[in-house]
Structure formats: structure tokens, C-alpha cells
Structure 1
């Protein structure tokens, strides 16, 4: 008996044939996993993406429909895997504050990250933040502690981007002044 083609298995899956899903899984499991791993660089995420691709095939939702005229079945599966990997990375992305990439702030205030590394400095910073007006406190908290970009803050707070940039700069200037007065940080630029 001839081995069923990918398209034949796909059509059988559409009719809820579990054996067809198992055969297709055995055929593509390693390829889809390794392809997802190249995107995610994480074994658990790659496994999750691969499982999700087969679940979408079984449910008939989220994967679209394979059309033979548009290309090979394996290419279609890899496209679903790529899209799933990208989606999962977006969902699970841990927002990290990338100090050196935050708009133009690092040019204005070099070394801020280094200056607040130890606990005493962080405590002094928290106290200094509480001396700021509420609008500036909110900008600092969203920007540094929640890792939002200035553009995201503008959208979330429904205010112009220029206003966000101005408030962040002013808040940072006031924080620096307050910390220097209180001896919370040493200003090596002096």
C-alpha cells in the first residue's frame, strides 16, 4: 500500500481522522520543532509552537486553508510555524528596559543605569520620585519600571509624544538634582 500524500492526510484531518493527524505529526514533528526553535531559541517555546500548529490543523481554525495551487504543503506548514513562533515571541516577550535604546535619553543622561544599581541608590531614587508632580511620577514609572517606550506612554495616556518626552526629561533633571542634594548618587561628571 502506498504512503498517503501530505494533501491526502490534510483532507482526512478535515474529516476528523485522528490517524491522519498522527501520521502527519510523525512526518513533520522534527522539522517544525527545529524550525520553531530557530525563531524562539527556546525548547519549550518551540515545542509549544509545534503543538499549536497541529492543534490548528485539527481544529481547522487559525491555520487558514491549504490551497494546492499556492505551493507545497510543507511550505504552508512552515509558514504557519513561522507565524506561530513570531506570535508566541510577542506574547511572551518580557519587557526589558533597554537604556541605551530609549529614544534620545541616554545621550542626555549617560550612566543613569549604572548610578542606581545598588540598593541604597534605588531607595534614594524611590524617595526622589515621590517628590515629583503626579504627571512626572507616572511618566517615570511607565518608562523605567514598566519598560514602556515614550510612544507607548503617549498612546496609553492619550497625550502628545512631545509632552511625554518633555515630562520625562524634566522629571529626570529634577530627580538628578534631588539625588545630588541628598547625596543619593555621586555625579562623576562634575
Structure 2
């Protein structure tokens, strides 16, 4: 029997169905754990992050919109934010660096997940090459090193509003670039 699609499971979860939460956990636990582990560098902390993500799902914190992207990408964003919150609580965010790629030797993901993750990373790196240098620097600090917007403003010595504007513009440019590449492939 084939498992229900992510959207169907999500809708059932929103209705209070515990079995759908279990199904989503079973489906995404390894991916979320690997991603969280790369950020927090501690097995116990990575497990805590995954558990917190599942609690957020159960409590309905945040809304998934299918027209804005894949469910797995949305889950990874929640995981990223939860891991950064964890690191901030541990006062280690400045010393921790988020690594963009997985090391296949220390993950338990399936080959398909690793290939998909690598392909997405490659597409993102290619799209980032089209950004202006100052946008690349800020995106690197914000998304891959886990810096807050305030920390970036202090580090780069520019106003907070400028950081916010550059992030917003860079994300818009990345979205357009990725959309163009996807259109070229079709």
C-alpha cells in the first residue's frame, strides 16, 4: 500500500490525526536529523531539534502552502530555524558554522535523498553566482552560518535595514534565477 502524499498527511495532521504525525516523522526523521546534526554538531541536540520540529507541526505553528514550494523544503526551513534557536540558546551560534553539503560517511540517509540534496545544493550554488557579491556574502552569513540580521549588520558594518533589504532582494533574485533554470529544463 502506498503512503499518502505529504499534503494529505499534513491536512490530516491539522485535523488532529496522530497517525499522520507518526507517518511524517517516519518519512522525514532521517533527513531532518541529518540536517539538524550538520548545524548543531551534537547527536543529542539534533534529536532535540527534530523533536521540537515535530512538536511545532503538531501544535500547528506555521502554515504550509503547497503553492510556495515542496513540503520537504518547508520542513527543512523549520528545522533550520529551530536549530538556530537552539544554538542561540546555547550561546554558540557565532562559533558554529552550518555546512551546506552532507558527508555521506556520517549520514544515514538513503542514496536518493543524498542525490536530491546534492542536486538542490548545486542548483543553489549556481544561482548564487548570479547575485552581486554583497548579496552573496549576506546570504552565506544568514543561511549557511546562522548569523542573525543584527549580527550581520555588526559584522559587515552596515545598517540593519540594509541587511534586511539585501536579504530580501537576494532571495527574490535567487527565486527568479531558479525559476528560469527550471523553465530552461522543461
In the superposition, the TM-score normalised over structure 1's length comes to: 0.47
Bigger relative CO (Cα 8 Å, ≥ 6 apart): 2
Normalised by the length of structure 2, the TM-score is 0.48
